[in-house]
Amino acid sequence: MFTNQTVIITGAGRGIGAAAARLFAERGAAVVVNDLNAEPAEETANAITQAGGQAIAVPGSVTDPAFPDKLMQAAADTFGAIHILVNNAGYTWDGMIHKMTDEQWQAILEVHASAPFRMIRAVAPYLREAAQAEKEAGQPFSNRCVVNVSSTSGLHGNIGQGNYATGKMGIVGLTKTVAKEWGYLGIRCNAVAFGYIDTRLTRTKEVQEEAIDIDGHEIVLGIPQKVRALLDANIEQRIPLGRAATAEEAAGGIVLLASPLAQYITGHVLEVTGGMGI
């Protein structure tokens, strides 16, 4: 399905991004695995190559303004062309609005809105010039697209996530704008809005003891035990499918939108939620 296609996935060292990297590779794509943390990025890429696929790890922070160009260059140098960009990297740094610091607000807007914007700007020449050449030669367009990761917090708001909800709604506006600007070149841009996916972002904070280091600042990840218990108590009322998704199920939504079978789908936000919120 993705033979001779190169996909770049940010935040693919673990969770949904890592699962997407494996799914793309199993379907023939060459995968560029980015993550803030080098070790998990290399683990994801190595697992793919050991299984007979093609992958490289390009560690680095998507919030470093110089990084997107380096990432695109590494992808093009290794695999020759770029076809698909998945803006997946991210984390949460929750707090009620009346207590939220400027630093907390800016950091989350940076990773969920500004970084995807810079990434899309950096991939533009690779996607657009190749498409333009096909157009001029009178050839059909190859499959080229961007998939952005949003959240139900962005679509509906969520208590304690004013910063995250703003970033995740912002990416929806960016998605629709790219779809309108690049559609004449056959380049699609869609988003997936995830609900409750079982990763370290949604597991019980006090039990898992996971943290992310952002510029020397340790941010503890996960949902507080009391909130997690409340959410789980009525899970069947909240989610028609009655459970959280696995990272693989979530990644399926990304791969679906990136696939050539979705070639007439653009500017769409696919809710991958088990029916939550319908």
- Which amino acids are annotated catalytic? 164
Record the tokens describing residue 5, joined without a space: 């296609």
The token duo for 230 is: 């409340």
Asked if 201 interacts with ligand NAD (CB under 6 A), we say yes
> In which residue are the tokens 């559609």 written?
183
Q: Determine the Cα angle at 184 with ends 182 and 188, to 5°.
A: 50
Nearer to ligand NAD, 169 or 201 (CB): 201
Nearer to ligand NAD, 186 or 202 (CB): 202
Q: What angle do CA 32, 25, 75 make, to 5 degrees?
A: 20
Among 97, 211, 110, CA closest to 162:
97
Q: Is 111 in the site for ligand NAD (CB under 6 A)?
A: yes
Contact present, 97 and 155 (Cβ < 8 Å): no
Site for ligand NAD in 88-107 (CB under 6 A): 88-91
Q: Which residues pair with 31 in a beta bridge?
A: 7, 55
Closest distance to ligand NAD from the beta carbon of 200 (Å): 5
The residue among 37, 26, 27, 30 whose CA lies nearest residue 4 is 30
- Candidates 48-56, 82-90, 133-141, 235-243: pick the segment binding ligand NAD (CB under 6 A): 82-90
Q: Which of residues 41-70 bind ligand NAD (CB under 6 A)?
A: 61-63
For residue 12, CA distances in Å to 47, 87, 162 come to 12, 10, 25
Strand ranges (DSSP E) for 152-274?
A: 187-194, 210-214, 217-221, 269-272
- In one-letter notation, the amino acid at residue 171 is I
Which of these segments, 29-37, 76-84, 93-101, 180-188, binds ligand NAD (CB under 6 A)? 29-37
Q: The tokens of 244 are what? A: 């959280």
Could you tell me which stretch among 14-22, 71-79, 120-128, 260-268 binds ligand NAD (CB under 6 A)? 14-22
Cβ 130 to ligand NAD shortest distance, Å: 25
Nearer to ligand NAD, 142 or 246 (CB): 246
Estimate the crossing angle of helix 162-182 against helix 115-136, to 10 degrees. 10
Interface of this chain with ligand NAD, residues 133 to 162, rule: CB under 6 A:
149, 151
Which member of 35, 94, 249, 271 binds ligand NAD (CB under 6 A)? 35
Window 231-270: residues binding ligand NAD (CB under 6 A): none
Closest separation in Å from C-beta 99 to ligand NAD: 21
Number of residues that bind ligand NAD (CB under 6 A): 29
Q: Nearest to residue 89, comparing CAs of 126, 51, 60? A: 60
126 binds ligand NAD (CB under 6 A): no
Q: Which of 2, 6, 7, 17 binds ligand NAD (CB under 6 A)?
A: 17
Which residues bind to ligand NAD, rule: CB under 6 A? 10-11, 13-17, 34-37, 40, 61-63, 88-91, 111, 149, 151, 194, 196-197, 199-202
